[in-house]
Structure 1
Amino acid sequence: MKLDDDIHNYYEHLVLDRIESLGLNKTKDEDYLADLCCLALNQIPPRYIRFEVDMSFYLPASERQQMLMNTINAVDKGIHFLENTPKEESKNKK
């Protein structure tokens, strides 16, 4: 079993979806996007899964909605940090 191929954090997909929905993948560089992903994912408790279908069929709608709200809030906070922190200061905090 290769752990890195078989198991992943479901929030990674939600964070990437949020970034795409905001169009940031078209307006920001790779470093910004990588920093944003790290900032957002570090705010959210991981939710590890093996198969996407597990989340689709077995996750109650209320929990799915909470996960989406967690993602929105985490990405928004990450954007705020990146946009309002001088570059040198943000590099020291990583």
Structure 2
Amino acid sequence: MKLDDDIHNYYEQLVLERITTLGLNKTKSQDFLADLCCLALNQVPPRYIRYEVDMAFYLPINERQQMEMNVEYAVDKALRFLEQNMKKKKSE
């Protein structure tokens, strides 16, 4: 069994969905998006799964909504942090 192919953190998908919803995948560089993902994912607890379908059938709707709210907050916070750092670097 290869752990990296069989198991992944469900929050990764939620973070990518949030980035797409905000349109950041069209306006930001790959390096920026990678940093954004790392910062956001470090703010939420890991939720490891094997198959996406498991989450669709077994995750209560209120828990899914809470996870989405957590991701919105984490991505927004990470975005503010990165944008502030970019402004600092430009002013130096």
TM-score normalized with structure 2 length: 0.92
The residue type paired with residue 11 of structure 2 is Y
Aligned to 1:20: 20
1:44 matched residue in structure 2? 44
Q: For residue 77 of structure 1, give the secondary structure of its aligned residue in structure 2.
A: helix
Q: What letter corresponds to residue 45 of structure 1 in structure 2?
A: P
| SS at 1:43 equivalent | coil
Secondary structure of 1:11's match?
A: helix
Query: Which residue number corresponds to residue 84 of structure 2?
Result: 84
Deviations 1:22-62 (A, max 9, x none): 00000000110000000000000000000001100000011
Distance 1:58 1:87 in 2: 45
Instruction: Give the whole-Å Cα distance in 2 for the aligned partners of 1:74 and 1:80.
Output: 10
**Structure 2: unaligned runs, 5 residues or longer:** none
Q: Tell me how many residue pairs correspond in the alignment.
A: 88
Aligned to 1:74: 74
Return the alpha-carbon distance in structure 2 between the equivalents of residues 77 and 70 of structure 1. 11
- Alpha-carbon deviations, 1:54-91, whole Å to 9, x = none? 10000001100000000000000000000112349xxx
User: CA deviation digits over 1:7-26, x for unaligned, max 9?
Assistant: 00000000000000100000
Q: Which amino acid aligns with 1:5?
A: D
RMSD after superposition: 1.1
Percent identity reads: 74
Where 1:45 maps in the other structure, the secondary structure is coil
Please list every run of 5 or more consecutive structure 1 residues that lacks an aligned counterpart in the other structure. 89-94
- Aligned to 1:46, the other structure's residue is in SS state coil
User: TM-score, normalised to structure 1's length?
Assistant: 0.91
